[in-house]
């Protein structure tokens, strides 16, 4: 179970940090309006939202690493799984990324979030299974 | 107690050892799968791109030969032109069966008049073409009319729209070609008549007009008579037409092939090092773990378990861990390769095609077998040594 906690923490760091450097605004790109002003692209808002998922996932990972109770492990695994799904939904459905396939957010940020989200969600579901399977509490 | 239950109990008793073995097996399987998928997919992709271009010889402007090759592979239009008169010069070379030409254009970047930004447009002449037309007749039954186009496998009409806008001109997508894994999958193939119409209309419909330089073309496509050697015809074509390079199909994408060769050597070296380290580490972990469990295994032997039981239990343990690691490593590798495919293509400039599902299953089975046999091999010597030890000595120590 401890390794799932470590995995959650690692994925949380990836989800929280990588989008900050791989969104189009970080690369100096913005939408130029006809009146001369510039506006951030969609991926900028997705990158801004990722710490909201990464922070609780990091906390869940740390707590899971130290927790011993089955109930707590079940709850934290479920939480990690839900946050993983949320990380997938951010670039694909909730906010989105730029439309152009060649933009850095499409090439790096979107796949990173989907990858980390999938790994977190799968690990969380596996943790849930492990915590259910051994009610005695010896699941390490 | 049967061997499997005993092995599973042992596994749950030492999580750190298991994690190390699973990680090593996962890394071995992942590396094996990733290298095979990338190298196989890249080779397939280059072959399919040559097949899609469909000509025995492709003539390109000499000054921009490498650029044009890379552009064809990655689906970017280049600003390299040659005189249309070169088509007539190529046609009279002995051994040439058919000659056609193409004009390479692109949609505008980030313009509202183009549905897709910077899309590669491959314009062909239906009267002479032997590449796109034959595909159209085979798959759609007819050629393309005015305002119609066929796209690569990634081209689609946006949801809720009836057409794809190219310089403000509505294009009807008639069909999609098979995937090649290259930029051709995101390209649009249209007739010269349609391209000229788009250029004419773009003056009033688009943010910037489409300019097709008069009397200029991008590439010449040549089909060679079966009895002639493609290489010698290519040399004759290059000798007859000034400032061009004639690329025979088997020699195409040489720089990409060289890059692929370099990548292959690097990957093989990395694979050997990683696998070697993983196997040594697994062997070491098993040796240490079995040393710790000598007394425990001695007791098992003393209460009547035969040597073969202990030996089989240890190998089943290794097998379970190897399989778990291999499966996890393969799953993560497949997910990463599918998600980061475009990033890898953009970074290395080598396109690769994701293999078909049956091929993928074979490769996964291969990498699983590789990691499983690696872990079993690493565990074999410590398991044999401990199972053949005298139980009284093992218990005393």
Tens digit of each residue's pLDDT (9 = 90 or more) over B91-116: 999 999 999 999 999 898 878 888 88
Q: What is the mean pLDDT of the segment spanning A30-58?
A: 89
- Short-list B362, B357, B359, B50, CA closest to B180: B50
B335 close to A (CB below 8 A): yes
In a domain, A54, yes or no: yes
Range of the domain at A28: 2-133
Q: Is the CB of A2 less than 8 angstroms away from the CB of B15?
A: yes
The alpha-carbon gap from A52 to the nearest alpha carbon of chain B, in Å, equals 23
- The token duo for B226 is 């079966």
What backbone phi and psi angles, to 5 degrees, belong to B321?
-65, -40
pLDDT in tens, B66-81: 777 777 777 777 778 8
Q: Is the CB of B110 less than 8 angstroms away from the CB of A100?
A: yes
What per-residue confidence (pLDDT) applies to B344? 86
A73 close to B (CB below 8 A): no
A35 close to B (CB below 8 A): no
Q: Which pLDDT band, with edges at 50, 70 and 90, does B171 fall under?
A: very high
State the Cα–Cα distance between residues A101 and B359, nearest whole angstrom: 27
B15 close to A (CB below 8 A): yes
Task: Tell me the sheet residues that pair with B223.
Answer: B98
Quote the distance between the C-alpha of residue B169 and its chain's center: 34
- The token duo for A106 is 């499409």
What per-residue confidence (pLDDT) applies to B200? 92
The alpha-carbon gap from A84 to the nearest alpha carbon of chain B, in Å, equals 15
* Rg (alpha carbons) of chain B, rounded to whole number: 30
Please report the number of interchain residue pairs, chain A to chain B, with beta-carbon separation below 8 angstroms: 31
Q: Which of A108, A115, A140 sits opposite B15 (nearest CB)?
A: A140
A44 close to B (CB below 8 A): no
Q: Which residue has 């349609």 as its token pair? A: B194
Q: Which of B15, B118, B343 sits opposite A108 (nearest CB)?
A: B343
- The token duo for B193 is 């008549």
- Short-list A70, A45, A109, CA closest to B340: A109
Chain A residues in contact with B156 (beta carbon < 8 A): none
Chain A residues in contact with B117 (beta carbon < 8 A): 99-100
What per-residue confidence (pLDDT) applies to A55? 97
Under DSSP, is residue A80 helix (H, G, I), strand (E, B) or coil? helix
The alpha-carbon gap from A108 to the nearest alpha carbon of chain B, in Å, equals 7
Residue A65 has pLDDT above 60, yes or no: yes
Chain A residues in contact with B12 (beta carbon < 8 A): 138, 140
Cα angle B58-B59-B64, degrees, rounded to a multiple of 5: 115
Which DSSP symbol is given to A28? T
What per-residue confidence (pLDDT) applies to A139? 46
What per-residue confidence (pLDDT) applies to A115? 97
Return all residues near B199 (Cβ < 8 A) that are at least 6 apart.
B167, B209, B210, B211, B212
The alpha-carbon gap from A55 to the nearest alpha carbon of chain B, in Å, equals 23
What per-residue confidence (pLDDT) applies to B1? 61
pTM of the model: 0.76
Under DSSP, is residue A31 helix (H, G, I), strand (E, B) or coil? strand
Q: Is the CB of A111 less than 8 angstroms away from the CB of B15?
A: no
A-contacting residues of B 169-188, CB under 8 Å? 186
pLDDT in tens, B125-141: 988 888 787 777 778 77
A68 close to B (CB below 8 A): no
Decide: B138 and B90 in contact? Cβ < 8 Å.
no
- The token duo for B95 is 């051994």
What per-residue confidence (pLDDT) applies to A86? 96
Q: Which pLDDT band, with edges at 50, 70 and 90, does A140 fall under?
A: very low
The rounded percent of chain B whose pLDDT value lies above 90 is 23
Domain count, chain A: 1
- Chain B residue with minimal CA distance to A108? B343
Q: Which residue has 């007859």 as its token pair? A: B240
A138 close to B (CB below 8 A): yes
In a domain, A48, yes or no: yes
The alpha-carbon gap from B66 to the nearest alpha carbon of chain A, in Å, equals 21
B342 close to A (CB below 8 A): yes
The alpha-carbon gap from A88 to the nearest alpha carbon of chain B, in Å, equals 12
In a domain, A67, yes or no: yes
State the Cα–Cα distance between residues B292 and B280, nearest whole angstrom: 18
Q: Is the CB of B117 less than 8 angstroms away from the CB of A108?
A: no
Q: Is the CB of A118 less than 8 angstroms away from the CB of B15?
A: no
The alpha-carbon gap from A107 to the nearest alpha carbon of chain B, in Å, equals 5
Q: Is the CB of B332 less than 8 angstroms away from the CB of A119?
A: yes
HEC sequence for chain B: CCHHHHHHHHHHHCHHHHHHHHHHHHHHHHHHHHHHHHHHHHHHHHHHHHHHHCCCEEEEEHHHHHHHHHHHHHCCCCCCCEECHHHHHHHCCCCEEEEEEEEEEECCCCCCCCCCCCCEEEEECCCCCCCHHHHHHHHCCCCCCCCEEEECCCCCCCCCCCCEEECCEEEEEEEECCCCCCHHHHCEEEEHHHHHHHHHHHHHHCCCCCCCCCCEECEEEEEECCCCCHHHHHHHHHHHCCCEEEEEHHHCCHHHHHHHHHHHHHHHHHHHHHHHHHHHHHHHHHHHHHHHCHHHHHHHHHCCCCHHHHHHHHHHHHHHHHHHHHHHHHHHHHHHHHHCHHHHHHHHCCCCCCCCHHHHHHHHHHHHHHHHHHHHHHHHHHHHHHHCCCHHHHHHC
The alpha-carbon gap from B121 to the nearest alpha carbon of chain A, in Å, equals 16
Residue B162 has pLDDT above 80, yes or no: yes
Decide: A64 and A4 in contact? Cβ < 8 Å.
yes
Chain B residues in contact with A24 (beta carbon < 8 A): none
Residue B9 has pLDDT above 90, yes or no: no
Task: Tell me the sheet residues that pair with B82.
Answer: B217
Q: What is the mean pLDDT of the segment spanning B307-317?
A: 86
Q: Which pLDDT band, with edges at 50, 70 and 90, does A134 fall under?
A: low
Decide: B59 and B86 in contact? Cβ < 8 Å.
yes
State the Cα–Cα distance between residues B389 and B397, nearest whole angstrom: 12
Q: Is the CB of A108 less than 8 angstroms away from the CB of B332?
A: no
What per-residue confidence (pLDDT) applies to A137? 47
State the Cα–Cα distance between residues A18 and A108, nearest whole angstrom: 9
* Rg (alpha carbons) of chain A, rounded to whole number: 17
The C-alpha torsion from B327 through B331 and B333 to B336, rounded to 10°, is -160
Indicate if ipTM > 0.90: no
B346 close to A (CB below 8 A): yes
The rounded percent of chain B whose pLDDT value lies above 70 is 99
Q: Which of A106, A108, A115 sits opposite B336 (nearest CB)?
A: A115
Which stretch of A25-29, B259-263, B298-302 has the lowest confidence by average pLDDT?
B259-263
Chain A residues in contact with B332 (beta carbon < 8 A): 119
Crossing angle between the packed helical segments A2-21 and A110-133, to the nearest 10 degrees: 170
In a domain, A138, yes or no: no
Q: Is the CB of A111 less than 8 angstroms away from the CB of B19?
A: no
């Amino acid at each position: 179970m401890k390794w799932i906690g470590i995995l959650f923490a690692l994925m949380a760091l990836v989800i929280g940090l990588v989008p900050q450097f791989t969104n189009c605004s970080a690369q100096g790109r913005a939408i130029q309006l006809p009146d001369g002003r510039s506006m951030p692209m969609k991926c900028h808002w997705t990158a801004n939202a990722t710490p909201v998922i990464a922070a609780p996932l990091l906390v869940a990972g740390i707590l899971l690493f130290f927790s011993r109770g089955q109930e707590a492990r079940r709850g934290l695994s479920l939480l990690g799984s839900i946050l993983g799904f949320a990380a997938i939904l951010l670039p694909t459905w909730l906010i989105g990324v730029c439309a152009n396939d060649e933009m850095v957010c499409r090439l790096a940020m979107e796949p990173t979030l989907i990858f980390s989200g999938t790994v977190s969600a799968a690990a969380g579901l596996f943790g849930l299974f492990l915590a259910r399977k051994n009610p005695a509490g010896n699941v390490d | 107690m049967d061997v499997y239950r005993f092995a599973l109990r042992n596994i749950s008793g030492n999580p750190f050892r298991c994690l190390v073995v699973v990680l090593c097996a996962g890394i071995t399987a992942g590396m094996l799968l990733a290298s095979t998928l990338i190298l196989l997919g890249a080779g397939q992709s280059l072959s399919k791109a040559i097949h899609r271009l469909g000509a025995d010889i492709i003539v390109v402007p000499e000054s921009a030969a490498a650029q044009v090759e890379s552009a064809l592979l990655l689906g970017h239009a280049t600003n390299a032109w040659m005189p249309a008169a070169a088509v007539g010069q190529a046609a009279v070379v002995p051994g040439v069966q058919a000659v056609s030409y193409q004009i390479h254009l692109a949609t505008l970047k980030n313009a509202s008049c183009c549905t897709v930004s910077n899309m590669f447009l491959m314009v062909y002449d239906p009267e002479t073409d032997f590449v796109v037309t034959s595909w159209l007749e085979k798959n759609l039954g007819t050629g393309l009319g005015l305002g119609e186009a066929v796209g690569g496998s990634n081209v689609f009409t946006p949801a809720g729209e009836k057409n794809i806008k190219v310089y403000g001109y509505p294009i009807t997508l008639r069909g999609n070609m098979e995937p090649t894994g290259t930029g051709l999958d995101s390209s649009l193939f249209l007739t010269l008549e349609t391209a000229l119409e788009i250029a004419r209309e773009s003056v009033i419909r688009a943010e910037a007009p489409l300019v097709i330089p008069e009397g200029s073309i991008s590439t010449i496509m040549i089909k060679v008579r079966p009895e002639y050697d493609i290489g010698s015809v290519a040399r004759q074509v290059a000798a007859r037409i000034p400032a061009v390079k004639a690329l025979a199909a088997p020699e195409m994408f040489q720089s990409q092939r060289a890059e692929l060769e370099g990548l292959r050597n690097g990957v093989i070296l990395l694979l050997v090092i990683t696998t070697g380290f993983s196997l040594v580490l697994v062997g070491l972990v098993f040796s240490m773990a079995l040393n710790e469990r000598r007394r425990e295994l001695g007791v098992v032997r003393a209460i009547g378990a035969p040597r073969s039981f202990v030996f089989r239990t240890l190998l089943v343990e290794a097998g379970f861990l190897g399989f778990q690691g291999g499966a996890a490593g393969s799953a993560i590798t497949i997910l990463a390769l599918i998600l980061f495919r475009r990033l890898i293509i953009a970074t290395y400039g080598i396109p690769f095609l994701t293999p078909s599902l049956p091929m993928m299953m074979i490769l996964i089975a291969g990498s699983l077998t590789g990691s499983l046999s690696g872990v079993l091999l690493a565990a074999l010597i410590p398991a044999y040594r401990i199972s053949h030890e005298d139980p009284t000595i093992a218990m005393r120590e």
